[in-house]
Amino acid sequence: MQLLWKRGVRPAEHGEVPARTTPDWEAIRIFLKVVQCGSFRSAAEQLGQSVNAVRRRLDELEHQLGVPLLTRHIDGVRTTAEGDEILDAAQRMEEASYGLVRARDRTSSAISGEVRVAITEGLGTAWIAPRLIDLQRTYPQLLVDICCAMQSADVLRMEADVAVQLKRPVSKDLKIVKLGRLHVMPFAAKMYLDRYGTPKSIQDLLKHRLVLQIAEQVETQVQYDRLFPGVPQPGFVAIRTNVSTAHYWTIARGAGIGMLPTYTHMMGAQAVPLDIDLRVQYDIWLTYHSDAKRIARVRRIIDWLVASFDPREFPWFRDEFIHPNDLAKEYGGGPVPNLFEGIRGSDSFR
């Protein structure tokens, strides 16, 4: 048979097919990442590899499998018909690999190890991070990795163990818990109001300057287009940013009027709530894989997050709107972490 092969006669022509090696998981993982990202360059950046290295691994995988997996287009890559079938199998392999990790983690009942929490940047920075100190003191062997970003994390792909987000997930494989509701309204710095006056209506806002946060999970652009149809942003919008902390400071330093959560008022925000008929609300969702709660350290974080957003204790997370000026009398708990205690040196907001 070897002689026939050397003479150019393929074994398949004589009823035999050359054995193919099983593709390694790393190559499959790279294939999944390229499909997920839609391009080699984006996948390479997330994998921390060069574009050429990613392309080479995909070429090797296609050679091993004997079928083309991807076609290259000017706007990225797309799977072939054969690639779609391989993708389906690869996704099942990925889910099985995650199951192995979860099974390993379930063998330990100790509150130790690492838990990755993905959360929106504003809630993570202003609300959750200051409250984590007491939890860490209780469980010193527990490492909480907080990823504060406006992009939703893919819990099924284990980008996080637990996610707190403003958009309700749709996957049936996820456990979903409504934590509370975020109420957002216009705020402005006192220095801005002293200089430009206080608007009384949405129409009055056209005489002022706005600051906007444009990011995933918030519908600021949609709201702007609905409230100010046809109004160009240059000359009306002073500053536009993608993160909550920068957005807050542009308001606090007097750049213009912007939307902030009502709870920031309880945390010492250097801005005044404006009584304009303009309010936005977002439900806050906790999501995790169905197996995650069987892991002791993840279960502890889930329970802690649910308690941290409990509307019965923290009235600013209730479904009904409560004006920021009335939150103090509605709240009967202990000191609330101050947004500026690390900057101003104060211990707490009372």
Mean pLDDT of 325-349: 67
pTM over 0.75? The answer is: no
255 and 239 Cβ atoms separated by less than 8 Å? yes
For the chain, how far is it from start to end, CA to CA, in angstroms?
Answer: 86
Mean pLDDT to the nearest integer, 71-94 = 83
Structural domains of the chain, with CATH = 2-106 (1.10.10.10)
**Environment class of residue 74 by beta-carbon count within 10 Å: exposed (0-12), middle (13-18) or buried (19+)?**
exposed
Confidence grade of residue 16 (pLDDT, cut at 50, 70, 90): very low
Phi, then psi, of 208 in degrees rounded to 5: -120, -175
The pLDDT of residue 65 is 86
Is the model's pLDDT at 72 over the cut of 90?
A: no
pLDDT digits (tens, 9 = 90+) for 205-254: 999 999 999 998 898 999 999 999 999 999 999 999 999 999 999 999 99
Overall average pLDDT of the 37-65 stretch:
87
Q: What is the 3-state secondary structure (H, E, C) of 198-210?
A: CCCCCHHHHHCCE
The whole-number average pLDDT for the span 153-165 is 87
**Euclidean distance between CA atoms 94 and 158, whole angstroms:** 10
What tens digit of pLDDT does each residue of 190-219 get?
Answer: 999 999 999 999 999 999 999 999 998 898
Q: State the pLDDT at residue 105.
A: 53
Query: What would the two tokens of residue 318 be?
Result: 């209730």
